[in-house]
Amino acid sequence: MLQHDPAAPRGPYNSLPMRRRKRIALIAHDNCKLDLLDWARYNVGTLRRHELFATGTTGALLAGELGLQVARFLSGPLGGDQQVGAGVAEGRIDFVLFFWDPLEPQPHDVDVKALLRIAVVYNVPVACNRATADFVLSSPLMDVEYERLVLDHSPPAIASAS
């Protein structure tokens, strides 16, 4: 376990390793699916070097249109967003690319918010638009092992009175 910076408000941190081959979850709301597909088409060579996961229709679209190997979760509104969140919490997802539509109400908004919250809790990179996805995917850190620091949320040990 790594100790936190003394100037940081809380600590200590656990170190969670990310392999060279990142595990990337791709999600897109209906109005954003074509934008994600266009972005993925441009980045298909880079995406092929990583392990890809996606929610229902998005995964089918990426696999069908680009020939990418994609492990599919359920559709977002049917539990897929929660499955991605569980993957983040369990250390099975390293990076979330979520093209969500901020101008359209979603019936599963609470699931979307929960996924974004859990990604922040576990210090997982999240890209919610094309520009951020471009910057993250083109980072030199995408192709090397990386130690992700996650705040230790376990309760403090209680000393026994002897």
Just list the catalytic residues: 81
Burial class (CB in 10 A: 0-12, 13-18, 19+), 120: exposed
* Rg of the Cα atoms in the chain: 17
Q: Whose structure tokens read 């969140």?
A: 85
Strands (E), the chain: 13-18, 23-28, 51-54, 70-72, 95-99, 126-127, 146-151
